[in-house]
């Protein structure tokens, strides 16, 4: 077992954590299996809410080495993500947050999906990516990347070593004008460590930009499948503002972005004397209203209702001899199949475009994962879309492969198309 338990809130460090919603014991969502009989670890997947500051969080923390050592997720596999990050980079230039030749450091840079467009637009780039295999891939594709876990000492070293990036002479005193962290902030147990590392790397005039799945979007859309062990914190904007301020950063702007079921992109600057935009004030106000209307209680009831509707539908289809396969084996597939009890007796197999996932088995429920090419010769009656955030792309792709049946979209509400 490589599990530790936090006794204090990750944000305010008080011990007033109340259990809110439990999904029972689950295997790590990205731990795909080589064989269905492989040994698996199960850990509690339970959300707690801090009574003091409001942060919703897991307190059972699975060791990062266990969660990420076999990580096979390459961001660039998804064309929607590529487009999202291309726009991200262009917008940073349009907002004049940097100019050509300045340095962008991306924390949790994966295969360089965000840094590639920054580089194309003329920035110097450097990635920090803990999974060595993925870091190597980024380097092969021309993105300088340090294979390491983020820490203040790693951050300090990076800045002290001009060899680490291309054209060191053109950088501003070795420090980054932009530090970005997309979809990583929620994964890190020690949030203060992230800020102190960023302090080391970011120029005093620079901007720190993060993207995190937005807690209130998950609540409004019933997307409980965003809950898995890698996601330790479920951030409201108010949580980010609080953490930033405690670490000497001002939150200057925020916007909603359509990834991971609805995320917020938050802009921060080192120093406490910057005024927030009206967007920050408006979102904070809206969060106060949402917290007062009982929407968190409604969410739990909606998840149970969704479970009943989907499981009943799948059982009815199986009873009448229909065949169902799944599309997409992201982490959210694991949460949904394990919490709803959807196994290989219900879903024959799952197809996924990522070659690294093919010929493996889903965690806990042991559903085999295949290449989508199988749909050229096999024509099941139904495809259950686990990667529902890409449903439009997936439906087009399936039709292109010759699929003539119907699609089931499990969330936000069960839908047949």
Whose Cβ is closer to Zn ion: residue 55's or residue 134's?
Answer: 55
Min dist CB 242 to Zn ion, Å, is 8
Whose Cβ is closer to Zn ion: residue 11's or residue 259's?
Answer: 11
Min dist CB 59 to Zn ion, Å, is 11
Min dist CB 246 to Zn ion, Å, is 11
Query: Residue 74: which residues within 8 A CB-CB, separation 6 or more?
Result: 110, 111, 134, 137, 354, 356
Would you count residue 98 as binding Zn ion (CB under 5 A)? no
Min dist CB 215 to Zn ion, Å, is 14
Q: Rounded distance, CA 307 to CA 340, Å?
A: 6
Min dist CB 5 to Zn ion, Å, is 16
* Sole window of 7-15, 79-87, 219-227, 322-330 interacting with Zn ion (rule: CB under 5 A): 7-15
* Sole window of 47-55, 151-159, 204-212, 262-270 interacting with Zn ion (rule: CB under 5 A): 47-55
Whose Cβ is closer to Zn ion: residue 57's or residue 124's?
Answer: 57
Min dist CB 14 to Zn ion, Å, is 5
Which tokens hold the place of 411? 């969330």
Region of residue 222 (phi > 0: left; psi between -120 and 50: alpha; otherwise: beta): left
* Sole window of 52-60, 196-204, 268-276, 313-321 interacting with Zn ion (rule: CB under 5 A): 52-60
Among 9, 125, 181, 317, binds Zn ion (CB under 5 A): 9
Min dist CB 75 to Zn ion, Å, is 31
Would you count residue 50 as binding Zn ion (CB under 5 A)? yes
Would you count residue 12 as binding Zn ion (CB under 5 A)? yes
Among 52, 136, 322, 323, binds Zn ion (CB under 5 A): 52
Q: Any idea how long the chain is?
A: 417
Whose Cβ is closer to Zn ion: residue 57's or residue 250's?
Answer: 57
Q: Which of 212, 213, 222 is nearest to 297 (CA)?
A: 222
Would you count residue 11 as binding Zn ion (CB under 5 A)? yes
* Sole window of 4-12, 145-153, 392-400, 408-416 interacting with Zn ion (rule: CB under 5 A): 4-12
Which residues in 255-294 contact Zn ion (CB under 5 A)? Answer: none
Which tokens hold the place of 185? 């902030």
The three-state DSSP-derived secondary structure of the chain is CCEEECCCCCCCCCCCEEEEEEEEEECCCCCCECCCCCCCCCEEEEEEEECCCCCEEECEEECHHHHHCCCCCCHHHCHHHHHHHHHHHHHHHHCCCCCCCCEEEEECCCCCCCHHHHHHCCCEEEEECCCHHHHHHHHHCCCCEECCCCCHHHHHHHHHCHHHCCCHHHCCCCCEEEEEEECCHHHCCCHHHHHHHHHHHEEEEEEEEEEEECHHHHHHHCCHHHCCCCCCEECCHHHHHHHHHHCCEEEEEEEEECCCCCEEEEEEEECCCCCCCHHHHHHHHHHHHHHHCCHHHHHHHHHHHHHHHHHHHHHHHHHCCCCEEEECCCHHHHHHHHHHCCCCCCCCCEECCCHHHCCCECCCCCCEEECHHHHHCCCCCEEEECCHHHHHHHHHHHHHHCCCCEEEECCCCCEEC
* Sole window of 55-63, 177-185, 201-209, 226-234 interacting with Zn ion (rule: CB under 5 A): 55-63
Whose Cβ is closer to Zn ion: residue 74's or residue 185's?
Answer: 185
- Could you tell me if 351 and 325 are in contact, meaning their C-beta atoms sit under 8 angstroms apart? yes
Whose Cβ is closer to Zn ion: residue 54's or residue 101's?
Answer: 54
* Sole window of 51-59, 179-187, 225-233, 265-273 interacting with Zn ion (rule: CB under 5 A): 51-59
Among 29, 31, 45, 53, binds Zn ion (CB under 5 A): 53
Min dist CB 133 to Zn ion, Å, is 36
Min dist CB 253 to Zn ion, Å, is 24
- Counting residues that bind Zn ion (by CB under 5 A) gives 7
Would you count residue 56 as binding Zn ion (CB under 5 A)? no
Strand partners, 181: 210
Min dist CB 269 to Zn ion, Å, is 24
* Sole window of 46-54, 190-198, 269-277, 360-368 interacting with Zn ion (rule: CB under 5 A): 46-54
Would you count residue 314 as binding Zn ion (CB under 5 A)? no
Binding stretches for Zn ion (CB under 5 A): 9, 11-12, 50, 52-53, 55
């Amino acid at each position: 077992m490589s599990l530790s338990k936090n006794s204090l809130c990750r944000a305010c460090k008080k011990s007033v954590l109340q259990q809110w919603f439990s999904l029972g014991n689950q295997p790590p969502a990205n731990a795909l299996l080589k064989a269905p009989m492989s040994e698996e670890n199960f850990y509690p997947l339970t959300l707690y809410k801090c009574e003091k500051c409001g942060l919703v969080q897991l307190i059972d923390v699975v060791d990062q080495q266990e969660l990420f050592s076999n990580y096979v997720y390459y961001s660039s596999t998804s064309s929607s993500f590529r487009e999202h990050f291309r726009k991200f980079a262009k917008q940073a230039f349009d907002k004049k947050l940097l100019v050509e030749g300045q340095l962008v450091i991306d924390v949790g840079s994966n295969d360089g999906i965000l840094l590639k467009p920054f580089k194309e637009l003329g920035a110097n780039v450097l990635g920090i990516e803990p999974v060595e295999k993925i870091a190597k891939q980024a380097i092969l594709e021309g993105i300088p990347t340090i294979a390491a876990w983020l820490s203040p000492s790693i951050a300090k070293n990076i800045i002290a070593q001009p060899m680490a990036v291309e054209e060191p002479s053109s950088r501003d005193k070795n420090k980054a004008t932009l530090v970005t962290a997309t979809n990583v902030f929620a994964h890190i147990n020690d949030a203060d460590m992230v800020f102190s590392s960023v302090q080391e790397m970011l120029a005093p005039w620079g901007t720190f930009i993060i993207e995190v799945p937005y807690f209130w979007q998950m609540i409004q859309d019933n997307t409980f499948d965003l809950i898995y062990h890698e996601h330790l914190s479920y951030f409201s904007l108010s949580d980010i503002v609080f953490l930033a301020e405690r670490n000497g950063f001002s939150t200057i702007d925020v916007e909603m972005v359509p990834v991971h079921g609805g995320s917020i992109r938050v802009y921060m600057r080192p120093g406490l004397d910057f005024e927030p935009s009206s967007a920050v004030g408006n979102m904070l106000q809206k969060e106060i209203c949402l917290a007062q209307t009982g929407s968190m209680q409604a969410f739990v009831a909606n998840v149970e209702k969704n479970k009943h509707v989907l499981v009943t539908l799948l059982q009815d289809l199986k009873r009448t001899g229909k065949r169902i396969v799944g599309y997409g084996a992201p982490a959210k597939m694991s949460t949904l199949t394990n919490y709803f009890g959807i196994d290989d007796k219900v879903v024959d197999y799952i197809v996924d475009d990522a070659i690294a996932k093919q010929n493996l088995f889903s965690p806990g429920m042991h559903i085999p994962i295949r290449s989508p090419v199988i749909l050229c010769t096999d024509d099941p009656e139904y495809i259950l879309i686990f990667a529902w955030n890409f449903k439009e792309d997936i439906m087009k792709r399936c039709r292109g492969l010759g699929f003539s049946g119907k699609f089931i979209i499990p969330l936000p509400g069960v839908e047949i198309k």
